[in-house]
Amino acid sequence: MTEIDELQGRLTRALDRIAQGVTQLSAPMPVSEEDLPAEPAEDAVSAAEIARLTELLDEEKIANSQLEERNRALNARLSETPAPAPADAALQEQFAAQRESMAELDSELQRLRLSNEMLRKSCEDMRVALQDGLGEPHLINQAMLAELESLRSARAVEQAELRAVLGAIEPVLSESSGLAAQQETVQ
């Protein structure tokens, strides 16, 4: 509890010092003779300078108010802008589907590259074994498995490519069939 009392006392003393500083700063400063203008010409120059600066300030205020008004008008126009049309939503869905099919195609291509690398390594191991005069059956089995995986990966890549192409063609075909149906109803 004494710690809280001590902190409260410190805060009170600090606030008192701040209050004293504020009262000293708000008190009018005594004007000395040095601060008074020496010549009336300096008064005229400073008055002209004040007038010029006041005019510049007024111009800036006008420009600022014009910019604020333009900003309000643009914000109002932006809020009145209609939501994206359904065609835009359909295009967004189409783009999303194409991105998804391209991602699938990319993953299948990565799988194909990996299996081809395994196949190359197995073939290299078999060449080395045959040069040494060793016919090792596990290397033959390993090469066959790598070749099968490579073939599976190639097939998966082809399927992914076909899905990507079909995904790109389907919207065009549906639009053309919709246009053909509209033309038939008009006739």
The string of pLDDT tens digits covering residues 24-54 is: 766 666 656 555 555 555 666 688 888 888 8
Where residue 1 falls among pLDDT bands split at 50, 70, 90? low
What separation in angstroms does the CA of 147 have from each of 109, 126, 154, 161? 16, 13, 10, 21
Domain boundaries, the chain: 92-180
Where residue 176 falls among pLDDT bands split at 50, 70, 90? confident
pTM of whole model > 0.75? no
Distance CA 54, CA 44 (A): 15
- At residue 28, the pLDDT reads 63
Distance CA 144, CA 113 (A): 17
- The string of DSSP letters for 48-74 reads HHHHHHHHHHHHHHHHHHHHHHHHHHH
Segment 150-174 mean pLDDT:
84
Token reading at 21: 């500083």
| Relative orientation angle of helices 137-186 and 86-131, to the nearest 10 degrees | 160
Per residue in 107-141, pLDDT (tens digit) is 888 888 888 888 888 888 877 887 888 777 787 78
Distance CA 163, CA 32 (A): 90
